[in-house]
Amino acid sequence: MEHRDPSKGPPKERGPTLDKLSMLDEHGSKRTIYPAEVHGRWARWRPIIHYVLIAIYVALPFIEIGGHPAVWIDIGNRHFYLFGATFNAQDFYLAFFIFTAIGFSLIVAAALFGRVWCGFACPQTVFLESVFRKIERLFEGKAAERRRLASAPWTVDKILRKTGKHLVYLAMATTIAHVFLAYFASADRLGQMIVEGPGAHMGTFIWALVLTLIFYGNFWWFREQLCIVICPYGRLQSALQDQDTLNVIYDKARGEPRGKAKEKDRAKAAGAALGDCVDCFRCVAVCPTGIDIRNGHQLECIGCTACIDACDDVMTKLERPRGLIRYDSLRAVETGKHRFWRPRVYFYSFMGLLGLVVATAVIMANDPFEAEPLRTGTPFSIVEGTVVNQVRVHVVNKQGQPATYRIAASPAHPDDARFITLPQPEVHLEPFADHDLPVIIRIPGADWVRGRIVHLEVTSSFGDLKKEVEVKVLGPNRLAVPP
Ligand code: SF4
Ligand code: SF4
């Protein structure tokens, strides 16, 4: 193994090769990547998008819609609050349609624009690039300084910088862990738990601790490995994309053969033409996953566009056209032809729309309360020539608000009123509570016909909602009418 004198700094890296993952060193260990700072069109927009998304991620469990957090997954009580709509465990099947819609939307995005989600909207990229990387730069300086500091001996200055960085990392990881927990515990309840202290809520405290350590370890050390090794969406990209997918791409025909700017005139004089790439390695230096985009599109590229800005900057300084690295498709770079709508895009879009339409329709049709007839015990009895059925109407309050439920004969079937006795005509139910309302049905022999149905109406005090309940009356085929 080669041993270097640390005072000489790290070995000069001239970019990764294709025979190993960019994040691994020659011994197969994780290589620390120090992406250089970059300025440009994309670098101006990316933080704005990231901060808007961070604001949304943080706000969702805190802002209230309809008296509850906009998003609250109350696993303990098996209740879910989503932008004013409330669901209980029986509605869990909705998750299938919601995840189908989200999943196919991401697939459509991948087929059209490559890893646009990964580079611009994934929480891993958003927090890493716009929070943790910024903290790192604040304490340890630019890429070259960070690299120097990493191999420098432990001095007071290094200890202070590293300690400060890790303390702020821990504070940020703790904040993110608590925001994450607020999605499951609700912001109010979490605040109450924090005030009451860990001793009173040991389970939640352990969750907060574990999540804090996971976020801290991820954003300090694991970083790009999550995108390259763990994330299934990243691994699926090669199956979702094709020659027409827009990606961050290097224009090989224009860039090669590469050579230093000053060599270009010499080469021209010698009758050889050099491409526009001046082999400055700026695109490699700024890459957060440490790859060389000039080797072609690679699994590790998360589509962050940093190399586009870096190369545009170089081209501008050399007074050459920008766009040597750009957002384009393989087919367009090779033939100049763009093809946006393709069969796979139609198919993915159709599936995504289908999930979205079904999810929307089912959510819109989601009843705020349930009222279903239940039978228990003897199906029917005959008392003095009258068929008697004892049933229960199971009422579930599926709203996040308490409500009073009244049961009565349906006004649409006034005749049924004379057959029905309601020992408990109303009940007050807390959110997601349920109750069985007893109903006694008596059909005199003169009115008995097999298959008879009586109609009830359940009314909710919340929004004056009504639901009709049909009860099929059970009884004998024939009934002797008493004289
Ligand atoms: S930044 Fe542009 S010019 Fe420099 S090495 Fe990369 S592709 Fe070539
Ligand atoms: S190759 Fe370019 S777009 Fe891809 S991750 Fe590296 S810097 Fe970002």
pLDDT band at 481 (very low <50, low <70, confident <90, very high): low
Question: At residue 321, does pLDDT exceed 90?
Answer: yes
| Residue 362, pLDDT score | 76
Confidence at 273, pLDDT banded by 50, 70, 90: confident
Band of residue 2 on the pLDDT scale cut at 50, 70, 90: very low
Give yes or no: residues 333 and 446 share one domain.
Answer: no
Residue 281 in contact with ligand 1 by CB distance below 6 A? yes
Distance in Å, CA 420 to ligand 1 centroid: 84
* Ligand with an atom nearest the CA of residue 287: 2
Confidence label for 450 from pLDDT (cuts 50, 70 and 90): confident
Task: Report the number of distinct structural domains present in the chain.
Answer: 2
Task: Give the SS3 label for residue 315.
Answer: helix
Q: Whose CA is nearest to atom 5 of ligand 2?
A: 301
Tell how far the Cα of 125 is from the centroid of ligand 2, in angstroms.
12
Atom of ligand 1 nearest to the CA of 278: 3
Q: Are residues 151 and 280 in the same domain?
A: yes
What is the C-alpha radius of gyration for the chain, rounded to an integer number of angstroms?
33
Of 29-43, 44-58, 72-86, 262-276, the one with minimum mean pLDDT is 262-276
Residue predicted with more confidence, 9 or 303? 303
**CA 298 – ligand 1 centroid, Å:** 17
Domain boundary among 366, 393, 421: 366
Protein residue with its CA nearest to atom 6 in ligand 2: 287
Which atom of ligand 1 approaches the CA of 258 most closely? 8
| Residue 21 pLDDT grade (very low, low, confident, very high; cuts 50, 70, 90) | low
**Beta carbons of 119 and 125 less than 8 angstroms apart:** yes
Task: Provide the percentage of residues in the chain whose pLDDT is more than 70.
Answer: 93
Strand pairing class (403-409; 325-328) = unpaired
Ligand 2 centroid vs 175 CA: distance in angstroms? Answer: 29
Classify residue 176: in a domain, yes or no: yes
Q: Answer whether residue 6 shows pLDDT above 70.
A: no
For residues 82 and 200, what is the distance between their CA atoms, to the nearest angstrom?
A: 29
**What are the beta bridge partners of residue 472?**
453
Average pLDDT over residues 234-261: 90
Indicate if the pLDDT at residue 207 is higher than 60: yes
CA 133 to centroid of ligand 2, rounded, Å: 16
Over the stretch 452-475, which tens digit does the pLDDT of each residue have? Answer: 899 999 999 877 789 999 999 999
pLDDT tens digit sequence for 47-97 = 999 999 999 999 999 999 878 899 999 887 778 888 887 887 777 777 788
Query: Distance (Å, rounded) from C-alpha 458 to C-alpha 404?
Result: 10
Give yes or no: residues 111 and 230 share one domain: yes
Ligand 1 contact via 326 beta carbon (within 6 Å): no
Burial class (CB in 10 A: 0-12, 13-18, 19+), 49: middle
445 in the same domain as 348:
no
Atom of ligand 1 nearest to the CA of 279: 5
Q: How far is the CA of 308 from the centre of ligand 1 (A)?
A: 9
CA gap 240, 104 in Å, rounded: 11
**CA 389 to CA 475: how far, in whole Å?**
8
Question: pLDDT: is 203 or 76 the higher one?
Answer: 203
* 342 and 281 co-located in one domain: yes
Residues 149 and 91 in one domain: yes
205 lines ligand 1 (CB under 6 A): no
Do 218 and 319 lie in one domain? The reply is yes
Q: In the prediction, which pLDDT does 146 show? A: 95
pLDDT of 164? 97
Query: Does the structure show a pLDDT above 50 at 234?
Result: yes
In a domain, 77, yes or no: yes
Domain span at residue 399 reads: 369-472
Check residue 1 and give its pLDDT.
Answer: 34
Q: Which burial class, exposed, middle or buried, applies to 46 when counting CB atoms under 10 A from its CB (0-12, 13-18, 19+)?
A: buried
Alpha carbon nearest to ligand 2 atom 8, residue: 304
- Cα of 155 to ligand 1 centre, how many Å? 36
- The per-residue pLDDT for 88 is 79
| 479 located within any domain | no
Alpha-carbon span 104 to 390, nearest angstrom: 49
Q: How far is the CA of 301 from the centre of ligand 1 (A)?
A: 16
The residue whose CA has the least distance to atom 2 of ligand 2 is 307
Same domain, 314 and 376: no
Ligand 1 mutation target, pool 282, 318, 328, most atoms within 8 A of CB: 282
Report yes or no on 481 lying in a domain.
Answer: no
Would you say residue 478 lies in a domain?
Answer: no
Ligand 2 pocket check for 285: Cβ under 6 Å: no
Among the ranges 61-70, 304-313, 332-341, 370-379, which has the highest mean pLDDT value?
Answer: 304-313
Q: Is residue 130 part of a domain?
A: yes
Q: How far does the centroid of ligand 1 lie from the alpha carbon of residue 34, in Å?
A: 18
Domain boundary pick from 344, 366, 388:
366
pLDDT at 317: 94
- Report the pLDDT value the prediction gives residue 7, as an integer from 0 to 100: 41
Q: Is residue 304 part of a domain?
A: yes
Rounded mean pLDDT of 251-276? 80
What are the tens digits of pLDDT across the range 104-133? 899 999 999 999 999 999 999 999 999 999
Residue 11: predicted pLDDT: 43
Q: In 3-state terms, the chain is what percent helix, strand and coil (to 5)?
A: 45, 20, 35
Ligand 2 nearest-atom number relative to CA 306: 7
Predicted TM-score of the model (pTM): 0.78
**Residue 22 covered by a domain:** yes
Label residue 271 by pLDDT band (50, 70, 90). Answer: low
Structure confidence at residue 17 (pLDDT): 52
